[in-house]
Amino acid sequence: MEKMNRCNLKWPALLGWSFEVAFAGHCNRNEENIMNQRWRVPRNGLVFVSAFAIALIGLGRVASAQEDAVVAAITPEVATSDETASEVAPVYSNFREAYSAAFRFREAGDFQAAKVALQSAIELATRDREIADAHRTLISVHSELGDQDKMFESLEYVVENAPYPAFASLSIGSVNAIARRKGWVNEMKARYEKQLKKDPQDRTALVVMEAYTYNVARDHAKRGEYIDRLLKLNEEEGKPLDVEMMINRAFCDRLTRDFETAAKRYEAVSKESEDVRAYCLMEAAYCWENAGNKKKALKAALAADANGPDKRAKRSLYQWHRTLADLFLTHLKKDEAIKHFEAALEEANIDAYRDQCREKLRIANALKDS
Q: What is the pLDDT of residue 368?
A: 86
pLDDT digit string, tens, across residues 25-77: 444 444 444 334 433 444 444 444 344 444 444 445 544 445 444 434 444 44
Q: What is the pLDDT of residue 370?
A: 62
Of 292, 282, 291, which Cα lies nearest the Cα of 328?
Answer: 282
Using CB atoms within 10 Å of the CB of residue 205, give its burial: 0 to 12 exposed, 13 to 18 middle, 19+ buried.
buried
Mean pLDDT of the chain: 84
Of 273, 243, 249, 276, which Cα lies nearest the Cα of 263?
Answer: 249
CB-based contact 209:193 (threshold 8 Å): yes
| Domain-terminating residue out of 141, 158, 182 | 182
pLDDT digit string, tens, across residues 240-249: 999 999 999 9
| Domain-terminating residue out of 136, 164, 182 | 182
For the chain, the distance separating the N- and C-terminal CA atoms, rounded to the nearest angstrom, is 119
| Domain-terminating residue out of 182, 209, 235 | 182
**Structural domain contains residue 58:** yes
What's the pTM?
0.73
**Structural domain contains residue 235:** no
User: How far apart, in whole angstroms, are the C-alpha atoms of residue 152 and residue 171?
Assistant: 11
CATH code, 177: 1.25.40.10
**Structural domain contains residue 75:** yes
User: How far apart, in whole angstroms, are the C-alpha atoms of residue 278 and residue 267?
Assistant: 10
pLDDT range class, residue 176, cuts 50, 70, 90: very high
User: How far apart, in whole angstroms, are the C-alpha atoms of residue 189 and residue 208?
Assistant: 9
Question: Do 106 and 47 share a domain, yes or no?
Answer: no
Position 336: which residue type?
E
**Structural domain contains residue 326:** no
**Structural domain contains residue 114:** yes
Position 358: which residue type?
R
Question: Do 99 and 177 share a domain, yes or no?
Answer: yes
**Structural domain contains residue 165:** yes
Q: How many domains does the chain have?
A: 2
> Does the structure show a pLDDT above 70 at 177?
yes
User: How far apart, in whole angstroms, are the C-alpha atoms of residue 124 and residue 92?
Assistant: 8
Print the domain residue range for 105.
Answer: 95-182
Question: Do 33 and 79 share a domain, yes or no?
Answer: yes
Question: Do 40 and 21 share a domain, yes or no?
Answer: yes
pLDDT over 70 for what percent of the chain? 76
> Does the structure show a pLDDT above 50 at 15?
no
Q: What is the pLDDT of residue 366?
A: 95
Of 2, 51, 1, 45, which Cα lies nearest the Cα of 21?
Answer: 45
Question: Do 103 and 168 share a domain, yes or no?
Answer: yes
Rg (CA), the chain: 44
Question: Do 125 and 177 share a domain, yes or no?
Answer: yes
Of 290, 283, 336, which Cα lies nearest the Cα of 312?
Answer: 283
Q: What is the mean pLDDT of residues 287-307?
A: 98
Q: What is the mean pLDDT of residues 1-18?
A: 41
Question: Do 79 and 112 share a domain, yes or no?
Answer: no
Backbone φ, ψ for residue 83 (5° rounding): -65, -40
pLDDT digit string, tens, across residues 78-122: 333 333 333 566 899 999 999 999 999 999 999 999 999 999 999
- Name the DSSP class of 239: P
Q: What is the pLDDT of residue 88?
A: 63
> Does the structure show a pLDDT above 60 at 364?
yes
Q: What is the pLDDT of residue 130?
A: 97
User: How far apart, in whole angstroms, are the C-alpha atoms of residue 319 and residue 356?
Assistant: 13
Question: Do 108 and 170 share a domain, yes or no?
Answer: yes
Backbone φ, ψ for residue 25 (5° rounding): -65, -20
> Does the structure show a pLDDT above 60 at 17?
no
**Structural domain contains residue 130:** yes
pLDDT digit string, tens, across residues 185-242: 999 999 999 999 999 999 999 999 999 999 999 999 999 999 999 999 999 999 999 9
Question: Do 78 and 56 share a domain, yes or no?
Answer: yes
Question: Do 119 and 162 share a domain, yes or no?
Answer: yes
Question: Of all helices (H) and strands (E), which one includes residue 280?
Answer: helix 277-291
- Name the DSSP class of 313: G
